[in-house]
Structure 1
């Protein structure tokens, strides 16, 4: 029996591995991806961090400098790849974790390659593989995809594209497309931009110290492409449409817009199906936690899913704090 099984080899799993190694605990990291990099492997081509490299680091080792503004997803992947090698983290991939079950004083992690017995489990599976698309009445005859399926504007050159979503991904993808398509940007409420001087480091500081986090300030970080499109008056949002009608989206007032493509930038839900046998999920689909520890299962910690598992815990700069706290609790439990 190993001390800890970490499920997920993205940024949260690596941060957990760093502190588990430092604590002297035995552990493995099980990653469903065939290559390092977690969800960063699947972002669109123009995706960049909100912060410069030195403010986007996992514990122990700063991200190498990126000289051309905010780091690209490729730079992040290279960093995560080097990070797991630097600390010789025991990562097994690709491994699909199917279930976590109680077994006496420990937990059993069932996978497609066998079972692991552990004194404790850290679930760090993130949200990327569970995209959320709202239900809209009517039938749409064009193409629909989520943020997860977007790569670059060349996919849709010359087409009529509706981008749905008033967060960072919606604004960035709309700005990416604006020169290449007939764009309609749709948001549930008017876009709320954070002050231009705020970047990822500032967001982390705010999320970590202010009650209510960043929600009162805005939803969109004005990275350079978004700022340029906004300031030029080209990034203008319409309210959310009401229903589909064949090749059209239709608003409550009856106005219509022909569309070839709808891109849903509508967020994600936590990937927690593997924890179903533990019977911990609440009506909202989450698991009640005290810090990162499951309230009703002290051998389980959840890491990196968002603010409900720790302030800024779904960010590179923020996950270290919650990872350290989780490992500290686990060390007390297993020793």
Structure 2
């Protein structure tokens, strides 16, 4: 395990929030690095279900004035957002290191130690920008006899879902979009 240089700020997570913060820190000449476990910028968007679209128009989904391609009044899909984030990182030359953070501690001097499988980074401040729903919550709701069950994080498209009635639990953006899509091929109940 090797020690890396010390930064003023380490951002854990290279999605929208991490990149936007990185942009602001760079504008102020504050030494920082972004650590992200994904193999490329925007990958967390690419892994989501095939038909995912934003609920907000493209003109409201831009970071720091960086133009999002396409109709500004249209609703970008997941790949457009992934491409946009990757282009934003490149255009602004943001330092994203492809490393998974496995531990965050503080030393006796109150510096943060950010441990990855290969390095220990040191920082005065750390920002966790990994998103609110990084680990899906899958409650145990049946005894195994109720049939097929899938969490939205594993859902890609209707071909995964067996014939029959479908119950979708959760009426947030994801639940509503999936329910709308599945209602074309299944009898759907949204709870």
Which TM-score applies when normalising by structure 2?
Answer: 0.89
Q: Residue 54 of structure 1 contacts residue 64 of structure 1 at CA under 8 Å; is this kept in 2?
A: no
1:64 deviates by 2.2
Q: Secondary structure of the equivalent of 1:20?
A: helix
Higher RCO (CA 8 Å, separation ≥ 6 residues): 2
Match of 1:97 in 2: 101
Q: Secondary structure of the residue that 2:17 maps to in structure 1?
A: helix
| Counterpart-to-counterpart distance in 2, 1:108 and 1:67 | 42
* Structure 2, unaligned runs of 5 or more: 1-5
Please say if 1:72 is aligned against 2:72.
no
Aligned partner of 2:189 among 185, 204, 218:
185
Cα-Cα RMSD: 1.9
C-alpha deviations, 1:94-140, integer Å up to 9, x for none? Answer: x1101111111311101112100111111111134311223325333
Give the count of matched residue pairs. 185
Aligned with residue 32 of structure 1, among 34, 37, 46: 37
- 1:70–1:139 distance in 2 versus 1, CA, 3 Å: same
- Bigger proportion of residues as helix: 1
Which residues in structure 2 correspond to 1:1-335 (within 5 Å)? 1-66=6-71, 69-93=74-98, 95-103=99-107, 104-156=109-161, 158-181=163-186, 183-187=187-191
Deviations 1:248-294 (A, max 9, x none): xxxxxxxxxxxxxxxxxxxxxxxxxxxxxxxxxxxxxxxxxxxxxxx
Q: Is the 1:7–1:123 Cα contact (8 Å) retained in structure 2?
A: yes
- Whether contact under 8 Å (2:58, 2:68) holds in the other structure is yes
- Using a 3 Å threshold, how does the CA distance of structure 1 residues 136 and 158 change in structure 2: closer, same or farther? closer
Calculate the TM-score normalised by the size of structure 1.
Answer: 0.52
Alpha-carbon distance in 2 for matches of 1:184, 1:67: 32
Other structure's SS at 1:57 match: coil
* 1:169 Cα deviation from its structure 2 partner: 1.4
Q: Deviations over 1:70-96 (max 9, x none)?
A: 111111111001000011000011x11
- Is 2:179–2:190's contact at 8 Å kept on the other side of the alignment? no
Larger Rg: 1
